[in-house]
Structure 1
Amino acid sequence: MFEQARTESQFSEHEIKRFMARLKDLPTLPVIVTRIMQIAKDEKSSAKDLGRMIAKDQSISSRILRLANSAFYGYSRTITSIPQAVVVLGFETVKSLALSASVFDVLGRSDSRFFDREKFWLHSIGCAKACELLAKQVRYPDPETAFLAGLLHDIGKVVLDRIFPEEYQQVANSIREASRPIVEVEKEVLLGVGHDDVGFWLGQHWKFPPLLLESIHHHHHPEDSEPHGILLASLVHVGDSITRKVGIGSGGDPLVPNIRLNSRKILNLDDDALLVLSMNLSKERANIEEFLQVLG
């Protein structure tokens, strides 16, 4: 069911099976979310088809409407129905909101001994907005997918914290003792497995599209991505770094990763472009906080 994220020589078959068994115990996304993603992907589907499917889940419907009417999207007129939201916001945006709400339901409210959940989700939403802004800045053709990739890039951290709390406490202790990147410490404590690997496995479990899987798996090293995914992985890599630099939420460690030269070249980003992104993201802070309040 799950592809191996690294070569077998880097961790034992026993450890792989251990992770797989625990991941299979995680809740699945609601069936309706899978159907929403299928409808959004189907070129023959209409706004009415998507609206009818979303309307079957009152919780998702109400949150989509609240998010659509929040300052995050900044529409002057009130959106009063799901079909109207699909028309105004678009297929992909509404799909992203539905998936965001469902992922938050499954992972967002769980307690944590390791990190502050609110700060974690603030960072994730901040990264999502940074990716969307950057996508528009560099004319990436699908800013909605960039938003979703930014939102989901660190979900492996929540999973590790839930299924391996003792080991993840060791990760937390190591980070407190020495300021090091969290993914580096994870791979030491967990025999070569980091949140990027586990997020990738969870995405497979939840049947995420390949492009999202690539961005989750390679947001720290976009150059390792498959050719079709390197642009999106680079967007998330840059978005993550800028969100940390601006100080929106927390990714679990205090470091601001250097943006990899290859990602800057791929996206054609000079220092001025990064400064523009930082300034634009800073202006969105209040809207990002409101998004989290509505999502929760």
Structure 2
Amino acid sequence: MSDKINFDEIKEARTLPSPTGVALNVMRMCRSDNVSLPDLSTQIQADPVLAGRLIQIANASRRPRTRPIVAVSTEVLLLIGVQAVRQVALSVSLINSYQNGACHSFDYNQFWSRSLAMACVAQAIGERQPIAPAAELFTCGLLAGIGRLGLAAVRPDAYGDLLEKNSSATVGELMVLERDRFGYDRVQLSAAMMDDWKIPSLFVDAVRFYKKPVLSGWDESNRRQRLARLLNLSAFIADIDVATDDEKQASMPSLFEKSEALGLDIEEVTQAMKDASKEWIGWREAQRFSQRSLQSLSG
């Protein structure tokens, strides 16, 4: 039996990771041109993790010397934007629904830890290079690697076997093996999943080239190219976080080069890394809270 992936077939079979529960309802409501914001805020408040994340985003966007936002309201949704709300709902649902799975040799905890790190860095860099709204940059950073989770979900045995037999392979080598065996590599499947979720093409296109922005063919001033470079830098920093001290030292020239390509100096990048670290810790805590809540409900 072939392990090649037919995207339409696996989508129809509903084996791909997908949003559920409150998040799915929120995403459906956000697709409507005449969505009721009061009804939307009521729906969001049924998910404390989603509501907390949106309040956090709104507080980061509020004007100085104004009262902190403590609840999701119509005004909060207008401040954040319905498109961003939809993407945040997707992110929260995926993180909380796919903490484990059937794919042996796939480290689900490590996957989400690294994905969250990339998302937090993308958001922090975006605050210094305003290419897109912060919430949407976070989602884009989080979903850039979602194809790995997709492969683990739709071909758990085959993908586990591939990972086990090639444990010392580089990411580039693994991507070649993924394409040969499944017809999709992790980046191609990420882009296909994002496109199916109706993520704006700006982000989908940037994800397609974020591993090697130089291959995009876009001018360096092009918004898609700048976003691809932002994701490339974010992914690089996320990998630095788990590197050894020697590896971190050896990576510094590349860090300088990637930062400069985006118009950032090392002081800005250093501060972005610090901000991202705080954000990452907050997300990990929220994630643990969510899991404890689910366990208490089921037990």
Q: Same fold (TM over 0.5)?
A: yes
Alignment-mate amino acid for residue 66 of structure 1: G
Q: Which residue in the other structure is 2:107 paired with?
A: 116
Distance 1:143 1:285, change over 3 A: closer
C-alpha deviation, 1:87, in angstroms: 5.2
User: Could you tell me whether the CA contact under 8 Å between 1:174 and 1:185 is conserved in 2?
Assistant: no
C-alpha deviation, 1:86, in angstroms: 2.1
| 1:167 maps onto 2:169 in alignment | no
Q: Which residue in the other structure is 2:234 paired with?
A: 239
Alignment-mate amino acid for residue 103 of structure 1: L
User: Could you tell me whether the CA contact under 8 Å between 1:130 and 1:243 is conserved in 2?
Assistant: yes
**CA RMSD of superposed structures (Å):** 3.8
- After superposition, what is the alpha-carbon deviation per residue over 1:196-219, rounded to whole angstroms, capped at 9, x for unaligned? 011111222222221221233222
Higher relative contact order (CA 8 A, sep 6+): 1
Alignment-mate amino acid for residue 53 of structure 1: L
Q: Which residue in the other structure is 1:184 paired with?
A: 173
Q: Which residue in the other structure is 1:280 paired with?
A: 275
Alignment-mate amino acid for residue 234 of structure 2: G
Distance 1:203 1:92, change over 3 A: closer
User: Could you tell me whether the CA contact under 8 Å between 1:127 and 1:151 is conserved in 2?
Assistant: yes
Alignment-mate amino acid for residue 245 of structure 1: I
Alignment-mate amino acid for residue 25 of structure 1: A
3-state SS of paired residue (1:139) = coil
Q: Which residue in the other structure is 2:36 paired with?
A: 49
Alignment-mate amino acid for residue 65 of structure 1: A
Distance 1:234 1:85, change over 3 A: same
Cα distance in 1, alignment partners of residues 57 and 191 from structure 2: 32
Alignment-mate amino acid for residue 130 of structure 1: V
- After superposition, what is the alpha-carbon deviation per residue over 1:146-201, rounded to whole angstroms, capped at 9, x for unaligned? 1110111111001101112233223322442x2512x4313224416311011111
- After superposition, what is the alpha-carbon deviation per residue over 1:211-239, rounded to whole angstroms, capped at 9, x for unaligned? 22123322212234465522222211111
Distance 1:128 1:101, change over 3 A: same
**Corresponding residue pairs, total:** 268
Q: Which residue in the other structure is 1:24 paired with?
A: 12
Q: Structure 2: which 5+ runs fail to align?
A: 244-250, 292-299
C-alpha deviation, 1:24, in angstroms: 3.4
Distance 1:208 1:24, change over 3 A: farther
Cα distance in 2, alignment partners of residues 174 and 247 from structure 1: 23
Q: What is the percent sequence identity of the aligned residues?
A: 17
Q: Which residue in the other structure is 1:7 paired with?
A: none
User: Could you tell me whether the CA contact under 8 Å between 1:131 and 1:236 is conserved in 2?
Assistant: yes
3-state SS of paired residue (1:137) = coil
- After superposition, what is the alpha-carbon deviation per residue over 1:90-126, rounded to whole angstroms, capped at 9, x for unaligned? 5455333222233346645534423332232222222
3-state SS of paired residue (2:36) = helix
Alignment-mate amino acid for residue 161 of structure 2: Q
Distance 1:206 1:287, change over 3 A: same
Q: Which residue in the other structure is 2:248 paired with?
A: none
| 1:67 maps onto 2:53 in alignment | yes
Alignment-mate amino acid for residue 269 of structure 1: L
Q: Structure 1: which 5+ runs fail to align?
A: 1-13, 249-255
Alignment-mate amino acid for residue 196 of structure 1: V
Q: Which residue in the other structure is 1:135 paired with?
A: 126
After TM superposition, the score normalised by the length of structure 2 is 0.71
Distance 1:154 1:97, change over 3 A: same
